[in-house]
A and B are shown apart, each in its own frame.
Chain A
Amino acid sequence: MTNQVKAPHIVKAFSEELEQLSADVAAMGGLAESLVSDALEAAATRDGDLAADVVARDVQVDAMQRDIEKKIIRLLALRHPIAQDLRVCIAALKIVSDLERVGDLAKSIARRVPTLNDSDPTAFAASVDRMGKLVLSHMHEVLDAYATGQAARAVAVWERDDDVDEHYNALFRELLRAMRDDPSMIGPGAHLLFIAKNLERIGDHATNIAEVIHYLVTGRELAPERPRAPRPEMHR
């Protein structure tokens, strides 16, 4: 299914295990992405049941991580992969750890939905939702890049993460102003702020995954550090 594993191995089972590994990581990515998507929808539609479902499904993401890690350890111990095969294993190990965090962050967003439902809807919810959709599109693109082995698509996402940061910074300032002007905004505002922060971190994980895909495909590290805008929390 991917172009990561090129010609088959003389030992067929080795090729099959590597292909299965890539397929497992892609499936885990799909699940993590659906958690983010459902958490956003639960927040946008004030759907408490869907939010509870996201919290429950995060357990599956964790279980998949453990299962995939076990398979990687077995591959390393028994097959001694090198070159591109080693990169497939190392990339999988790194990506599942990012995906596990993405699942946790989606769960954390979903957990805030019932509390937000207790207060009146605010104009900011739509802005958070827009940011969420942007992050989700990055996740989706980066997982597609993994499945198809296209480093260029991954790098494009990596370069676009500034959009997410800018979105977050703007939202942060607006929410702070709104909470200062209207103390009744402090409760829902704080929750929205945490949701936005979680989304921003999901975006970071998407860029991490993009870096790993670049390494997986080319065998080279991406540039050492992506230029970053200053964080608004750090300034008054």
Chain B
Amino acid sequence: MAHDTHPAPSTVYHPAPPGMDTKIAARDLTVRYGGALALDRVHIDMPGRAVTACIGPSGCGKSTFLRCINRMNDTIDTARVTGSIRIDGEEVNDRSIDPVLLRARVGMVFQKPNPFPKSIYENVAYGPRIHGLAAGKDELDAIVETSLTKAGLWKEVADRLHQPGTSLSGGQQQRLVIARAIAVNPEVILMDEPCSALDPIATARIEELIDELRENYALIIVTHSMAQAARVSQMTAFFHLGALVEYGPTEEIFTNPRDQRTQDYITGRFG
């Protein structure tokens, strides 16, 4: 293996906040795309009911890391994942894990809102229906309403549930996608630059939503906005060239980063 020839990347770990529970734990997590090493032996414990921000320059491995958590890398033929990633102690890469069920437990929101070409109602109802989470129409209606309410979208769409999801604005579509993820009772929500296609007001709404969602879910967000990472997250992980460079409470990372690379990146000094 290529990484055996060079020493494991050293990571600066700040002390975890007292009483932090570990939801997601990665050990020696390595990803290769063909011959290229995209993620190099990442070791990290991420909390439940909190927001963890993954930051770093393009190509640093932060999105690759995110995609390990719900096995999205399975969809790339050349991707090879080694090492361990566990959710509540359960190995995600285990053969016995059904990726479809895993992705219900670990929802994902992408950069560009991607509602199904169906009605607002169907976008949210689809997941619970295929996973058999609702016994009948009334129960399904209730799930749709609760999910849209939690996503902060109910009031805006209550009277037009049967219009196409794509008829909504970008910010509304992103909240619809979040409602869709919530509808199947996930434990973890992954967000890959969820606001980069949104205006500042829609961004503020999503950030407010993220803050509310962390009461019930573990959220992991990849963002290029330092300010957003600082605003929404409690923990921050800085990746560089496939390595986890520094990890700790967001306040520590942004006021007193210890690794020079972290410092240079967050203060805008990276060449």
Contact = CB atoms under 8 A, between A and B. Distances in A.
A223 interface: no
Given A82-B226, A82-B254, A219-B255, A10 B270 contact: yes
A83 B254 contact: yes
B255 A82 contact: yes
B232 to A, nearest CB: 15
Interface residues of B, number: 15
Contacts of A81: 267
A169 interface: no
B230 interface: yes
Nearest to A7: B269
A87 B254 CA distance: 11
A216 to B, nearest CB: 12
Contact of B268 (A6, A11, A86): A11
A7 B255 contact: no
A82 B266 CA distance: 7
Nearest to B264: A7
Main secondary structure, interface of A, reads: loop
A219 B269 contact: no
A124 interface: no
Nearest to B230: A82
A84 interface: yes
Contacts of B266: 82-83
Nearest to A79: B268
Interface in A1-34: 6-11, 14
A6 B268 CA distance: 12
A86 B255 contact: yes
Contact of B271 (A10, A85, A87, A219): A10
Contacts of B267: 9, 81-85
A231 to B, nearest CB: 35
A228 interface: no
Given A7-B264, A80-B227, A219 B254 contact: no
B128 to A, nearest CB: 42
A172 to B, nearest CB: 41
Nearest to B227: A80
B5 interface: no
Contacts of B257: 83
Interface in A186-233: 219-220
A9 B268 contact: yes
7 contacts: A6-B269, A11-B268, A14-B268, A81-B267, A83-B266, A87-B255, A220-B256
Given A7-B264, A11-B268, 15 more contacts: A6-B269, A7-B269, A8-B269, A9-B268, A10-B268, A10-B269, A10-B270, A14-B268, A82-B266, A83-B254, A83-B255, A83-B257, A84-B263, A84-B267, A219-B255
